[in-house]
Structure 1
Amino acid sequence: MTNKVIVIFKKGTEPSVIEAAAKDIESQGGKIGHRYNSALLGFSAEVPDVGINALITHANVDYVEPDGEVSAYTKDLLKK
């Protein structure tokens, strides 16, 4: 089984460290999606169960969160 996640690395993490983490995920059968390198450093990914714990505890990873659809509503829409 795979986990769809967003992986954000700590500020100042070298691009080579991020790329190595991405390659580790791919070598375990995972897939890398969008890459973030402006406001945030990281990527979205489908990570196999066998690799999720190593990713969460990676020294340069700031956080890992589930990836999914997000909807925004204004107060006016909620009143209807």
Structure 2
Amino acid sequence: MPDKFMVIFKPGTPQSEIDKYVNQVQDNGGEVHHKFDSTLHGFSATIPETQLQQLQSLQASGPIEYIEPDTKVTIQ
């Protein structure tokens, strides 16, 4: 079952590169919920497991800074 994640790219990653990964997620059955383009550069999405593994492999030497679960933050 796909889960929601935030995929954040390294500073200086061109928007065209980020858009490429957005399209890959969508083409592989994922759903992009939000694109970040101010302080953070990336997107939040529901990502199928196989696509998530592919994105995680890009963290070491590729354009992705980090991937983390997209959770709701509340203030009490």
TM norm structure 1: 0.86
Larger radius of gyration: 1
List structure 1 runs of 4+ shifted beyond 3 angstroms: none
Q: Give runs of aligned pairs for residues 15-34 of structure 1, distance below 5 A.
A: 15-34=15-34
Structure 1: give runs of 5+ residues left out of the alignment.
Answer: 74-80
| Percent identical residues | 36
TM norm structure 2: 0.90
Give 1:61's match in structure 2, choosing from 59, 64, 68. 64
Structure 2: give runs of 5+ residues left out of the alignment.
Answer: none
CA RMSD of aligned residues (A): 0.9
Residue of structure 2 equivalent to 1:52: 52
Residue of structure 2 equivalent to 1:5: 5
Aligned partners of 1:34 and 1:25: how far apart in 2?
13
1:39 aligns with 2:42: no
